């Protein structure tokens, strides 16, 4: 009986813990206007549709064939133009996905948004 | 639902379990081929870049090897359920329904990957609708598990607790990993990433519960010791593992700007794994007699190697859980080394022990004839895995060094090139070793007479 009670206590703790993780500590501190939000959402959708996570990481999540992109936007050695060049033509390892200009802009907007959230990443 | 005679029913269940085992090993074989192709895309960047790029090979590899783990665990459970409960399987047709659904879903998912239709989420890179189908396909398995076993948790051995926990948390974590379809999670990257790490970290814990439960059952059967799985110590480690499953995931989020207390909880929980490590080193294999070791030599060897990999991986896991080190190791191949050591060294060897235990039960004489070759192939697999694992650590260290020197990504890749070669070529040997084990087991399970020949 002790084991069953212990399991139930742990499970209940897990449920409460999950509810807290879902709602606290991750609130959005950056506000965007409607147009920017639409671009960011579209960029994220493209990022998933083309399975960019297979080669690139965001916050350490994803594959390692390509570079980590969490802070690529503000990185002095990369930045917006550098990323646009890869998105338009591909690279040594990256295929050319033949993105249209508006799609490139949307993906850049999404990566810019990710970059602005990466406070602890830039200053651990 | 039970109409057949007990013997006919038992035979039908064994047949279904064997079909699941063969399906599981097919996932493994195809997953290994895709892994090797992916490995060569590291050393030959133009290789299949446009026609079959890494965005396809990686999800195929990941999907197939994860599905190997779940399916092999389920196959073992289907085989063991009637023996543990002394009852016929509750719904024999459900086993085949599960099989048909799983096969159908896998074909669709593989086709989606080949055609370039993605959901684009780590580990679950297939379109989201298949997440729901996968959960649905588990329903007959759940019905058969609980209605055949009718577990009494007051007296049940620890492996039944582990299997039950694995099933429960599979449903929870797969559902949780699709929370991103709701706006509350999708539109906030920090929350989305935090929940992804939470769901995926615990999902790994759920399949570990299924696999470790299987390993415990095989250990019990091979050692003849039915006390260990019911001992307070076994349950202490079960609850420690359960706590890790629930709360350990936070060590993936040290770099995510989420609440700091999540990271503190994860760090403290991660350190409890030291207890497991100390116990394993001191206690393992004490209960098994020499005669039994010899009788069950193949499962015994596989379980022993799994134990070595548990120790290596725990040392690595504990090291990368230290926040100051995690900052550098996260996002490097050191994390991949941990994943590969766990999925191949621990999960695959434990599951292979279960596969060969079933082979022993089904085709003892034929297995005896293959013992020397299987033994050599286990050793080759382990040596190649060790080299493969070290190459991943090497790549990780190069990346850390490059990061500290502010080198660009291309320079880091150039410096990692020797390690990429070791990684790709050791991957081929590793694939060959696991191919031999899987094909031998498949032929043992399918052959009808004593005319078994490997070639």
pLDDT of B122: 87
pLDDT of B9: 66
In this structure, what are the phi and psi dihedrals at residue A96, rounded to the nearest 5 degrees?
-85, 115
- Report the alpha-carbon distance of residue B233 to residue B428 in Å, rounded: 40
A14, A49, A59: residue with CB nearest B255: A59
Contacts of A51 in chain B (CB under 8 A): 55-56, 59, 118, 120, 125
Do B81 and B128 share a structural domain? yes
**To the nearest whole angstrom, how far is the Cα of B359 from the nearest Cα of chain A?**
34
Q: What is the ipTM of this complex?
A: 0.92
Asked if residue B282 is part of any domain, the answer here is: no
pLDDT band (50, 70, 90) for residue A8: very high
Asked if residue B276 is part of any domain, the answer here is: no
Report the share of chain A in percent with pLDDT over 70: 95
Asked if residue B280 is part of any domain, the answer here is: no
For chain A, list the domains and their CATH numbers. 31-116 (1.10.760.10)
Task: Match 């989020």 to its residue by tokens.
Answer: B253
Check if A81 contacts B (Cβ < 8 Å). no
Do B168 and B134 share a structural domain? no
Do B20 and B124 share a structural domain? yes
Contact criterion met (CB < 8 Å) for B58 and A117: no
Domain closes at, from B132, B150, B168: B150
Interface A–B counts its CB contacts (< 8 A) at 144
Do residues B437 and B353 touch, judged by C-beta distance below 8 A? no
Asked if residue B322 is part of any domain, the answer here is: no
**To the nearest whole angstrom, how far is the Cα of A92 from the nearest Cα of chain B?**
6
Do B450 and B309 share a structural domain? yes
Number of domains in chain B: 3
pLDDT band (50, 70, 90) for residue A35: confident
Do B233 and B305 share a structural domain? no
Asked if residue B448 is part of any domain, the answer here is: yes
Contact criterion met (CB < 8 Å) for B191 and A26: yes
Mean model confidence pLDDT for chain A:
90
Domain closes at, from B150, B182, B216: B150
Contact criterion met (CB < 8 Å) for A120 and B259: no
pLDDT of A97: 93
Domain closes at, from B99, B132, B150: B150
Residue to mutate among B47, B54, B59, B153, with most A CBs inside 10 A, is: B54
pLDDT of B275: 66
- Report the alpha-carbon distance of residue B429 to residue B383 in Å, rounded: 9
pLDDT band (50, 70, 90) for residue A124: low
Nearest to B99 by CA among B19, B170, B31: B19
Check if A34 contacts B (Cβ < 8 Å). no
- Report the alpha-carbon distance of residue B120 to residue B173 in Å, rounded: 17
Asked if residue B289 is part of any domain, the answer here is: no
Q: Is the per-residue pLDDT at A48 higher than 90?
A: yes
Domain holding B370, by residue range, is 296-314+332-455
Contact criterion met (CB < 8 Å) for A10 and B246: yes
Check if A115 contacts B (Cβ < 8 Å). no
Q: What is the mean pLDDT of each run of 10 residues along chain B (455 residues)?
A: 56 85 96 94 85 92 96 95 90 94 97 94 92 96 95 92 96 95 88 90 91 90 82 87 82 64 67 63 64 78 87 84 80 89 90 93 86 92 96 95 90 94 96 94 82 50
Do B206 and B241 share a structural domain? yes
Asked if residue B359 is part of any domain, the answer here is: yes
Closest CA in chain B for residue A16: B246
Asked if residue B274 is part of any domain, the answer here is: no
Nearest to A40 by CA among A123, A120, A117, A95: A117
Q: What is the DSSP string of B103-171?
A: HHHHHHHHHHHHHT-----SS--S-THHHHHHHHHTHHHHHHHHHHH---TTT--HHHHHHHHHHHHHH
Do B107 and B183 share a structural domain? no
The two structure tokens encoding residue B388: 């493969």
Contact criterion met (CB < 8 Å) for B255 and A58: no
Do B35 and B113 share a structural domain? yes
Do B208 and B255 share a structural domain? yes
pLDDT of B318: 80
Do B117 and B49 share a structural domain? yes
Contacts of A59 in chain B (CB under 8 A): 193, 253, 255-256
Check if A86 contacts B (Cβ < 8 Å). no
Contacts of A93 in chain B (CB under 8 A): 41, 45, 49, 54
pLDDT of B455: 40
Do B365 and B248 share a structural domain? no
Do B116 and B223 share a structural domain? no
């Amino acid at each position: 009986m002790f084991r069953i009670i212990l399991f139930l206590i742990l499970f209940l703790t897990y449920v409460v813990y999950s509810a807290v993780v879902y709602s606290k500590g991750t609130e959005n501190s950056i506000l965007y206007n409607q147009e920017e939000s639409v671009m960011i959402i579209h960029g994220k959708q493209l990022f998933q549709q083309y399975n960019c996570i297979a080669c690139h990481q965001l916050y350490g999540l994803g594959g390692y064939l390509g570079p980590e992109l969490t802070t690529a936007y503000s990185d002095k050695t990369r930045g917006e133009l550098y990323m646009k060049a890869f998105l338009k033509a591909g690279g040594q390892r990256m295929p050319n996905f033949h993105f249209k200009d508006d799609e490139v802009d949307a993906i850049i907007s999404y990566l810019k948004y990710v970059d602005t959230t990466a406070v602890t990443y830039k200053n651990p | 639902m039970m109409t057949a005679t007990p013997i006919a029913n038992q035979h039908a269940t064994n047949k279904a379990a064997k079909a699941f085992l063969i399906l599981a090993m097919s996932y493994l074989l195809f997953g290994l081929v895709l892994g090797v192709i992916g490995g060569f895309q590291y050393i030959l960047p133009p290789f299949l870049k446009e026609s079959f790029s890494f965005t396809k090979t990686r999800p195929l590899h990941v999907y197939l090897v994860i599905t190997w783990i779940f399916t092999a665990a389920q196959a073992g459970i289907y085989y063991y359920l009637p023996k543990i409960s002394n009852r016929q399987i509750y719904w024999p047709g459900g086993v085949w329904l599960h099989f048909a659904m799983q096969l159908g879903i896998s074909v669709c998912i593989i086709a989606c990957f080949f055609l370039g239709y993605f959901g684009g989420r780590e580990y679950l890179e297939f379109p989201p609708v298949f997440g729901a189908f996968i959960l649905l396909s588990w329903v007959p398995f759940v019905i058969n598990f609980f209605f055949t076993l009718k577990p009494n948790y007051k007296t049940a051995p620890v492996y039944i607790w582990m299997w039950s926990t694995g099933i429960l948390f599979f449903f929870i974590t797969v559902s949780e990993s699709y929370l991103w379809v709701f706006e509350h999670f999708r539109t906030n990257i920090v929350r989305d990433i935090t929940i992804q790490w939470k769901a995926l970290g615990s999902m790994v814990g759920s399949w570990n519960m299924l696999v470790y439960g299987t390993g415990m059952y095989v250990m019990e059967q091979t050692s003849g010791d039915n006390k260990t799985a019911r001992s307070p110590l076994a349950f202490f480690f079960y609850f420690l593992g359960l706590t890790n499953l629930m709360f350990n995931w936070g060590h993936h989020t040290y770099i995510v700007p989420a609440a700091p207390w999540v990271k503190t909880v994860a760090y403290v929980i991660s350190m409890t794994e030291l207890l497991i490590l100390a116990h394993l080193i001191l206690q393992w294999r004490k209960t098994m007699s020499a005669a039994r070791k010899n009788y069950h030599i193949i499962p015994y060897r596989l379980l022993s190697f799994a134990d070595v990999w548990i120790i290596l991986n725990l040392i690595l896991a504990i090291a990368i859980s230290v926040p100051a080190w995690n900052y550098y190791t996260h996002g490097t191949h050191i994390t991949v080394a941990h994943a590969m050591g766990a999925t191949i060294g621990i999960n695959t060897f434990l599951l292979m022990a279960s596969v060969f235990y079933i082979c022993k039960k089904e085709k003892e004489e034929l297995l005896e004839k293959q013992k020397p070759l299987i033994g050599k192939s286990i050793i080759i697999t382990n040596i190649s895995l060790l080299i493969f694992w070290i190459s991943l650590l090497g790549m990780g260290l190069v990346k850390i060094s490059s990061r500290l020197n502010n080198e660009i990504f291309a320079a880091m890749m150039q410096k990692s090139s020797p390690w990429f070669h070791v990684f790709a070529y050791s991957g081929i040997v590793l694939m060959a070793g696991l191919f031999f084990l899987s094909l031998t087991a498949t032929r043992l399970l399918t052959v009808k007479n004593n005319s078994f020949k490997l070639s």
